[in-house]
């Protein structure tokens, strides 16, 4: 499942969204706004859509499903202005085995960082 939202990501809620009928492992990665970048103190970051974000997320999910034998993958990407500590994105993977879950989640995180349909504008203190 892929979700693009301007609403905060609720960790408890998203646990209920991922399928886990055959899972022996579920790995969640939450990317958050960090307090500084390149020795500058961050005030906030604004993420904007610059193309079809939903389609790019579907492509990432399809790549994951083609490469690994997993039960489910959930990718959520926020848009809008986010403050320090806010969750930017989530990649969650359920799998019968932990190694596949970890490897798949890492791949998903790396793919999100390379998205071309989202731009970011950081403001600093």
What is the per-residue DSSP string for 10-66?
-HHHHHTTS--SS-SEEEEEEEE--SEETTEEEEEEEEEE-S-HHHHHHHHHHHHHH
d(CA 99, CA 8): 29
Domains and CATH numbers, the chain: 2-124 (3.90.1170.40)
Predicted TM-score (pTM) of this structure: 0.91
Tens-place pLDDT, residues 42-97: 989 999 999 999 999 999 999 999 999 999 999 999 999 999 999 999 999 999 99
d(CA 41, CA 74): 31
Neighbours of 117 (CB within 10 A): 17
């Amino acid at each position: 499942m892929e979700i693009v939202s301007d609403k905060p990501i609720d960790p408890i809620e998203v646990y209920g969204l991922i399928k886990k009928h055959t899972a022996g492992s579920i790995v969640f990665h939450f990317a958050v706004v960090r307090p500084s970048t390149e020795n500058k103190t961050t005030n906030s970051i604004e993420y904007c859509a610059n193309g079809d974000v939903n389609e790019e997320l579907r492509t990432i999910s399809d790549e994951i499903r083609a490469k690994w034998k997993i039960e489910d993958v959930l990718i959520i990407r926020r848009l809008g202005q986010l403050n320090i500590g806010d969750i930017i994105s989530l990649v969650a993977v359920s799998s019968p085995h932990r190694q596949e879950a970890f490897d798949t989640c890492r791949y998903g995180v790396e793919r999100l960082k390379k998205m071309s349909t989202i731009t970011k504008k950081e403001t600093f203190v």
